Amino acid sequence: EAQVTQNPRYLITVTGKKLTVTCSQNMNHEYMSWYRQDPGLGLRQIYYSMNVEVTDKGDVPEGYKVSRKEKRNFPLILESPSPNQTSLYFCASGDRGHNIQYFGAGTRLSVL
Amino acid sequence: DAKTTQPNSMESNEEEPVHLPCNHSTISGTDYIHWYRQLPSQGPEYVIHGLTSNVNNRMASLAIAEDRKSSTLILHRATLRDAAVYYCILRDSGNTGKLIFGQGTTLQVKP
C-alpha cells in the first residue's frame, strides 16, 4: 500500500529541546516536502527536496532544518523549538512530475 | 502564483450530486487545476487534476470552463465520508511542486 509515514503523531516538548520528526515514503518518489498547517493560515510549505541530497527552502523555513540522505526519508529537524512552532505538520511525497502528491497523517507538535 | 476563490462552505444531502465551484480568473496557460481534500484529522488527499479538458476518475469529475477562468469539482453521489475541506489549487507545470492551499470549501453532508 502506498504510504507516507510520519512519526511521532503527537509530541509535546519544551522550548529549546531539539527534536526530529521523521517522514518515510514507500513509493520511490523523488519529490518530498514538509508543510505546516495553522488556523487561518492554511498549509504553508517549509522545505522541499527534488531528489537525494537536494533540498530547498519553502515559504516558512526559519527555525527548521531538513536532510535527504536517502530517497525514502525526509526528516524535519527543529534544533531549538519555540512556542511559535506549535503547529500541525504534514510530510508529502510525489513522483517526478509531482502531479499527485501523497500526504502523511500529520504530526501535532506543541512547544511549551 | 495565481489565486483561487472558493465558497467558504457548502451543504449537500447524502446520495445527491455536489458541485463545488472554484474561480481562477488569473490562471495562466501552463497552470494545472488540482483538487485536494482534507478529511477531519487527516492529511490532504489528492482528488483530481486537469489542464483544459474535463476529467473523470473514480472519485470525482472536474469540469473546466472553456476560458479556464473557473472550474467545478463534481461528486456524483455524496456520502457522509465525503464531508471534508476541499481545496482548489493552481500549479504551474514547471514549478517546484509546491501546493498553495487557500482556505478551501468545507463540505457538510447531511444524512
pLDDT digits (tens, 9 = 90+) for A83-92: 999 999 999 9
Nearest CA in chain B to A94: B97
Strand, helix or coil for residue B35: strand
Interface probe for B, chosen from A43, A48, A51, A91 (most Cβ of B below 10 Å), is A43
Nearest CA in chain A to B31: A99
Q: Say yes or no for a CB contact (<8 Å) between A90 and B44.
A: yes
pLDDT above 80 for A98: no
| Chain B nearest C-alpha distance from A25 (Å) | 14
In chain B, which residues have their Cβ closer than 8 Å to the Cβ of A58?
98
| Chain B nearest C-alpha distance from A53 (Å) | 16
Nearest CA in chain A to B90: A99
pLDDT above 70 for B95: no
| Chain B nearest C-alpha distance from A71 (Å) | 17
Task: Give the tens place of pLDDT for each residue, B6-61.
Answer: 999 999 999 999 999 999 998 988 889 999 999 998 999 999 999 999 999 999 99
Confidence of residue B93 (pLDDT cuts 50, 70, 90): low
Task: Give the tens place of pLDDT for each residue, A45-78.
Answer: 999 999 999 999 999 999 999 999 999 999 999 9
Cell of B34: 488540482
Nearest CA in chain A to B98: A45
d(C-alpha B105, C-alpha B19), whole Å: 11
Q: Say yes or no for a CB contact (<8 Å) between A104 and B49.
A: no
Quote the percentage of chain A above a pLDDT of 90.
Answer: 88
